[in-house]
Amino acid sequence: MIQIEGIEGLPEVVPGDDIAALVAGAGVEIIDGDILVVTSKIVSKAEGRVRKGDSRAEAIAEETERVVARRGDLVIAQTRQGFVMAAAGVDASNTEPGTILLLPEDADASARRIRAGLRDRLGADVGVIVSDTFGRPWRHGLTDLAIGAAGVRPLDDYRGQSDPYGNPLNATVTALIDEIAAAAELAKGKLAGVPVAIVRGLAHLITAPDGPGVTALLRPADEDLFRHGSADVIYARRTIREFSPTPVDPAAVHRAIAAAISAPAPHHTTPWRFVLLETPATRTALLDAMRAAWTADLRADGFTESSITKRLRRGDVLRNAPYLAIPCLVMDGSHTYPDPRRNTAEREMFTVATGAGVQNFLIHLAVEGLGSAWVSSTMFCRPTVRQILNLPDSWDPMGTVAIGHPTSPPPTRPPRNPTDYTLIR
């Protein structure tokens, strides 16, 4: 049997309070094997995570690591602690007017301190979960989840086992501490003034060491299929120049092409074509021919051999990438005018449309977890590229996209103020 009991009568928590001492003095029996679920708000208050003032927007910005999605005043953000939640966990409820509550700096550490304090005061070996309220994608309503834990097994991993029908379980990992946090909220409530609940009957989940805490539940970025939200997907595209030898899944590249060809184009045309270099011999032949063409051009322009060598190194990213794609511009459907100026503008329209397609392509590669670098190489030797790849004369190669798995995260991009690039008339 599982029993859940809220601890009533706790005083208003203020900075400097010892939550373990408050719980121990509440007059409620706490025994070995109990799990205490503590609302994060009182942890934040006790630890002084209270911000004076009513500028919630400023507090959200300070607590945000990245914005995942934004609609009006609603912000879904990844916090500095690694949680993705509304308003970066900043809360103006259940706190005095003119103050705002922030999440605990390290809720796992908070849970460890509360656990140790209860052991010292009561001699009871308990688990502690710090909980907070989360919304959920695709579902209305809120539920409590764990943001900190100590002494409780966080996950039950059933992978490798079989169900009663003999079917293998390949993906079943139960988030135990989230389930306990949600169940405990039924006894605490949002408005009852009961910030702590005791869950009894799950002693088999108690661990002697404090354990990994909530860290075990945070999904690594490279495993997260939904990492990029609507607000930060564009910023996910970064130029990557160093790739691991891990092969690139061609299906991912084809999905990126599907995104590319959804870009706008003039006259209802489709000016994009993509040449995918998946044959090693063709790839090597093209890069060697391009290198020879660049060398001849640079020598004709009077560059020294050392300068030529330095410039040719820029093409190393293409040789080191496990996959290459060449976007091409085609002018099918374009209009021809008697005025040469209009013909120039017509080509510029198609060039801009191709750029929009390439940008879509690069962004979707990032969504697929792939890095990329758009190198302008082929535009300097288009006849050579057409010859090696046997392309129609009407296809204009518009650079080469190096694609692969990044060896490391890209460096932080220096902030840019859009005002510096804006002119208002």
Q: Given this model, what pLDDT does residue 96 score?
A: 84
Query: pLDDT-derived band of residue 70, with 50, 70 and 90 as boundaries?
Result: confident
pLDDT cut 90: percent of the chain above it = 68
* CATH 3.40.109.10 is held by the domain 234-421: yes
Query: pLDDT-derived band of residue 103, with 50, 70 and 90 as boundaries?
Result: very high
- The CATH class that applies to domain 3-49+105-223 reads alpha beta
Query: pLDDT-derived band of residue 19, with 50, 70 and 90 as boundaries?
Result: very high
User: Residue 368: what residue type?
Assistant: E
Read off the pLDDT of residues 235-292 as tens digits, 9 standing for 90 and up. 888 899 999 999 999 999 999 999 999 999 999 999 999 999 999 999 999 999 999 9
Q: Given this model, what pLDDT does residue 414 score?
A: 84
Higher pLDDT, 162 or 184: 184
Q: Given this model, what pLDDT does residue 236 score?
A: 82
Cα–Cα distance for residue pair 332/269, rounded to 1 Å: 7
Read off the pLDDT of residues 110-136 as tens digits, 9 standing for 90 and up. 999 999 999 999 999 999 999 999 998
Q: Given this model, what pLDDT does residue 53 score?
A: 76
Res. 152: pLDDT tops 80: yes
Q: Given this model, what pLDDT does residue 187 score?
A: 93
Element (H, E) at 291: helix 280-300
Query: pLDDT-derived band of residue 183, with 50, 70 and 90 as boundaries?
Result: very high
Higher pLDDT, 231 or 149: 149
Query: pLDDT-derived band of residue 144, with 50, 70 and 90 as boundaries?
Result: very high
Contact call for residues 219 and 164 (beta carbons, < 8 A): no
Minimal CA–CA distance to 253: which of 332, 354, 322?
322
Read off the pLDDT of residues 389-422 as tens digits, 9 standing for 90 and up. 999 999 999 999 999 999 988 877 888 899 999 9
Read off the pLDDT of residues 334-351 as tens digits, 9 standing for 90 and up. 898 989 899 899 999 999
Q: Given this model, what pLDDT does residue 315 score?
A: 79
Average pLDDT, the chain: 91
Res. 72: pLDDT tops 80: no
Res. 232: pLDDT tops 90: no
What mean pLDDT is predicted for residues 204-214? 96
Per-domain residue ranges of the chain: 3-49+105-223, 234-421
Res. 365: pLDDT tops 90: yes
User: Residue 331: what residue type?
Assistant: M
Q: Report CA torsion sign: 378, 380, 386, 389.
A: negative
Burial of 322 (0-12, 13-18, 19+ CB in 10 A): middle
User: Residue 297: what residue type?
Assistant: D
